């Protein structure tokens, strides 16, 4: 009897009780709906070219993780009704692991990566992935949700970033923010390892698990008294009630004069292969890769502060990679092309696409009933549904006029399709009016991302077979795109799931 009860309680604690709930749904992620007490969360910081460049002094390589299991330690039969089950947190990753940086070996590290900060970080992600990996019954291992932080400063005099994948030399400053030497630095990194917080509890069911990551790019600043004026800041804390509900990921991002362009996302990345925008083998959450049109994304988003007029808040951002001839990417940065599509929900974000700026629009729009509307059809094209479209820098036969996407901010050429709320997206469950899901309108979204992304325009060379649209990264968060003043964005994500339909 005791044994049976224990098993039931443990199953409940570990979040394995969802068999009835999810009969007809196949989740693509390791932790459907963020319900699992034993959390897996990783951290990665990128510079403008999605690399590391130089590590921040004393911080190690900017890859870290907080992964743990919740283990029952004792169980009192008599008092079960008053919930006297005791549990402890068993961490998989130590602070010594998180502090690993160039020059420090770890199991599996390739010799040539030991002193190369870019390759070291890529391999550290794999190592942390090994420590965190969960082996599901279906034999598809998964590792972690990924917190991604990126600094948009680019020191053009450094010649550090390739141009559409090609090595190029330094060029004069002016096009990108940079305060001078060191503007592409990595942030400080601090960690509150997840702990069980019993302060507010009357019984076990009120026990709360909490932990977090935070830091700043202004490495000479003291954060011990919290956020201060003039200093950039990022923070992600996670919280969950033991045995019930979903994790809540609370994000905060603050720009500063020196760091006016910052990005903070929560990503579900592929568990192997490349993930969107990243040209090293990756670890993540997507144990099945979703392919258009057959998947949906569900999550709850609560935005407390928007981050100002330049904050391109992505309700959803999907990333992938395929070549202009439709073939899958293979790591050749000269022909691989990163593809992104993003729904921006900041109502202050204007549509750059318009009848007088056709170059900012995709060549055509496809309606849910598969009618193609060309952008020169001013009576029918939904201009205000598109913030901006730019073609891959290496597209050989683009429809003109067109803008080429920024050639430096990805390891290879990229293509971006940015959407805005519009009635044309109603069919897919996307926002139809500016302001939906914005500050003061917390919303549980059920987005037909697969359906919508199957009908978006993406560039391909003429008469090549259409690429399979398989997405290796699905994320949300904000990109404060060169703020004029210090801005703060604050938001919470919970119940994140990717469902194969
Ligand atoms: C414990 O959790 C509660 C509820 O989330 C929170 O208000 C409180 O600050 C936490 N206490 C500690 C010590 O973390
Ligand atoms: C497709 O839908 C549009 C409205 O979105 C409608 O005006 C049009 O008649 C439809 N076309 C077909 C072929 O059903
Ligand atoms: C509109 O664009 C399409 C595709 O580029 C082209 O075939 C068509 O001739 C254009 N129509 C007008 C009126 O310019």
φ/ψ of 122, rounded to 5, equals -60, -40
**Cα separation of 54 and 225, whole Å?**
27
Rounded alpha-carbon distances, angstroms, from residue 313 to 10, 117, 126, 191, 247: 39, 30, 29, 25, 21
**How much distance in Å is there from the Cα of 399 to the middle of ligand 3?**
11
Other CB atoms within a 10 A radius of the CB of residue 114 amount to: 15
pLDDT tens, position by position, for the chain (501 residues)?
233 233 334 434 444 444 444 445 799 999 999 999 999 999 999 999 999 999 999 999 999 999 999 998 876 655 445 445 688 999 999 999 999 999 999 999 999 999 999 999 999 999 999 999 999 888 899 999 999 999 999 999 999 999 999 999 999 999 999 999 999 999 999 999 999 987 554 555 578 999 999 999 998 887 877 788 899 999 999 999 999 999 999 999 999 999 999 999 999 999 999 888 888 999 999 999 999 999 999 999 999 999 999 999 999 999 999 999 999 999 999 999 999 999 999 999 999 999 999 999 999 999 999 999 999 999 999 999 999 999 999 999 999 999 999 999 999 999 999 999 999 999 999 999 999 999 999 999 999 999 999 999 999 999 999 999 999 999 999 999 999 999 999 999 999 999 999
Q: Is the four-CA dihedral 288, 291, 293, 299 of positive or negative sign?
A: positive
Protein residue with its CA nearest to atom 12 in ligand 1: 197
Contact 495, 299 (CB under 8 A): yes
Number of structural domains (the chain) is 1
**Cα separation of 191 and 249, whole Å?**
15
**Cα separation of 263 and 477, whole Å?**
8
Query: Which residue intervals of 219-260 are DSSP H helices?
Result: none
Q: Is 201 in the pocket of ligand 1 (CB under 6 A)?
A: no
**Cα separation of 456 and 54, whole Å?**
38
**How much distance in Å is there from the Cα of 192 to the middle of ligand 1?**
13
Ligand nearest to the CA of 208: 1
**Cα separation of 476 and 470, whole Å?**
18
pLDDT at 76: 61
DSSP 121: H
**Cα separation of 66 and 98, whole Å?**
9
Q: Is the four-CA dihedral 315, 163, 44, 469 of positive or negative sign?
A: positive
Ligand nearest to the CA of 201: 1
Q: Is 376 in the pocket of ligand 3 (CB under 6 A)?
A: yes
**Cα separation of 48 and 410, whole Å?**
8
**How much distance in Å is there from the Cα of 58 to the middle of ligand 1?**
29
**Cα separation of 393 and 415, whole Å?**
8
Torsion region of 372: left, alpha or beta (phi above 0 gives left; psi -120 to 50 gives alpha): beta
Q: Is 369 in the pocket of ligand 2 (CB under 6 A)?
A: yes
Q: Is 280 in the pocket of ligand 3 (CB under 6 A)?
A: no
- Considering the entire predicted model, what is its pTM? 0.92
* Tokens representing residue 14 in the block: 């570990």
Protein residue with its CA nearest to atom 4 in ligand 3: 374
**SS in 3 state form for 341-409?**
EEEECCCCCCCCCECCEHHHCCCEEECCCCCEEECCCCCCCCHHHEEEEEECCCCCCCCCCCCECCCCC
Of residues 217, 186, 187, the one with CA closest to residue 117: 186
User: Could you tell me which residues come within 8 angstroms of residue 452 by beta carbon, excluding any fewer than 6 positions away?
Assistant: 425, 428, 430
Of residues 386, 374, 475, 469, the one with CA closest to residue 424: 386
Q: Which residue has the tokens 């070291």?
A: 120
Protein residue with its CA nearest to atom 14 in ligand 3: 376
**SS in 3 state form for 450-498?**
HHHHHCCCCCCCCCCCCCCCECCEEEEEEEECCCCCCCEEEEEEEEEEE
pLDDT at 225: 75
Q: Is 197 in the pocket of ligand 1 (CB under 6 A)?
A: yes
pLDDT at 3: 30
φ/ψ of 441, rounded to 5, equals -130, 60
**Cα separation of 400 and 381, whole Å?**
17
What spatial distance separates the first Cα and last Cα of the chain, rounded to whole Å?
40
Protein residue with its CA nearest to atom 11 in ligand 3: 376
pLDDT at 222: 79
Of residues 379, 376, 351, the one with CA closest to residue 364: 376
Q: Which domain holds residue 27?
A: 2-500
Helix (H) or strand (E) segment spanning residue 131: helix 117-132
Protein residue with its CA nearest to atom 13 in ligand 3: 376
Q: Is the four-CA dihedral 325, 162, 259, 179 of positive or negative sign?
A: negative
The preferred substitution site among 375, 376, 381, 462 for testing ligand 3, maximizing ligand atoms within 8 Å of CB, is 376
pLDDT at 2: 30
Question: Which atom of ligand 1 lies at the shortest distance from residue 197's CA?
Answer: 1
pLDDT at 207: 87
Q: Would you call 289 helix, strand, or coil by DSSP?
A: coil
């Amino acid at each position: 009897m005791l044994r049976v009860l224990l098993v039931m309680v443990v199953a409940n604690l570990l979040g394995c009780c969802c068999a009835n709930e999810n009969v007809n749904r196949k989740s693509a992620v390791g932790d459907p709906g963020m319900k699992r007490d034993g959390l897996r969360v990783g951290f990665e910081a990128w510079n403008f070219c999605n690399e590391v460049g130089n590590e921040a002094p004393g911080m190690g390589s900017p890859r870290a993780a907080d992964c743990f299991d919740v283990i029952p330690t004792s169980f009192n039969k008599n008092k079960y009704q008053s919930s006297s089950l005791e549990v402890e947190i068993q961490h998989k990753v130590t602070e010594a692991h998180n502090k690993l940086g160039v020059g420090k070996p770890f199991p599996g590290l390739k010799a040539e990566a030991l002193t190369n900060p870019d390759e070291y970080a890529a391999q550290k992600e794999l190592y942390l992935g090994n420590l965190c990996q969960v082996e599901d019954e279906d034999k598809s291992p998964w590792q972690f949700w990924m917190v991604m932080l990126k600094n948009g400063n680019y020191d053009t005099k450094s010649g550090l970033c390739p141009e559409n994948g090609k090595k190029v030399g330094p060029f004069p400053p002016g096009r990108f923010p940079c305060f001078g030497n060191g503007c592409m630095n990595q942030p400080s990194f601090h960690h509150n390892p997840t702990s069980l917080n019993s302060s507010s509890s009357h019984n076990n069911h009120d026990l709360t698990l909490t932990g977090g990551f935070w830091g700043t790019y202004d490495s000479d600043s003291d954060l011990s008294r919290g956020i201060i004026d003039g200093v950039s800041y990022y923070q992600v804390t996670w919280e969950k009630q033991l045995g019930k509900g979903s994790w809540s990921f609370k994000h905060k991002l603050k720009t500063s004069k020196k760091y006016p362009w910052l990005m903070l996302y929560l990503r579900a990345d592929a568990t192997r292969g490349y993930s969107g925008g990243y040209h090293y083998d990756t670890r993540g959450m997507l144990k099945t890769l979703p392919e258009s049109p057959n998947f949906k994304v569900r999550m709850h988003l609560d935005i407390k502060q928007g981050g100002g007029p330049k904050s391109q808040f992505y309700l959803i951002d999907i990333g992938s990679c395929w070549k202009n001839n439709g073939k899958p990417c293979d790591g050749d940065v000269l022909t691989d092309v990163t593809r992104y599509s993003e729904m921006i929900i900041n109502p202050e974000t204007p549509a750059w696409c318009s009848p007088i700026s056709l170059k900012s629009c995709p060549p055509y729009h496809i309606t849910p009933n598969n009618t193609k509307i060309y952008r020169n059809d001013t009576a029918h094209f939904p201009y205000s549904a598109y913030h901006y479209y730019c073609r891959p820098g290496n597209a050989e036969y683009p429809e003109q006029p067109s803008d080429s996407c920024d050639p430096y901010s990805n390891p290879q050429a990229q293509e971006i399709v940015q959407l805005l709320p519009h009635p044309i997206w109603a069919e897919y469950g996307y926002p139809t009016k500016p302001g939906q899901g914005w500050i003061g309108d917390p919303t549980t979204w059920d987005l037909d991302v697969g359906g919508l992304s199957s009908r978006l325009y993406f560039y391909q060379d003429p008469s090549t077979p259409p690429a399979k649209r398989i997405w290796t990264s699905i994320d949300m968060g904000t990109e404060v795109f060169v703020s004029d003043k210090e801005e703060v964005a604050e938001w919470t994500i919970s119940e994140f799931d990717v469902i194969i339909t």
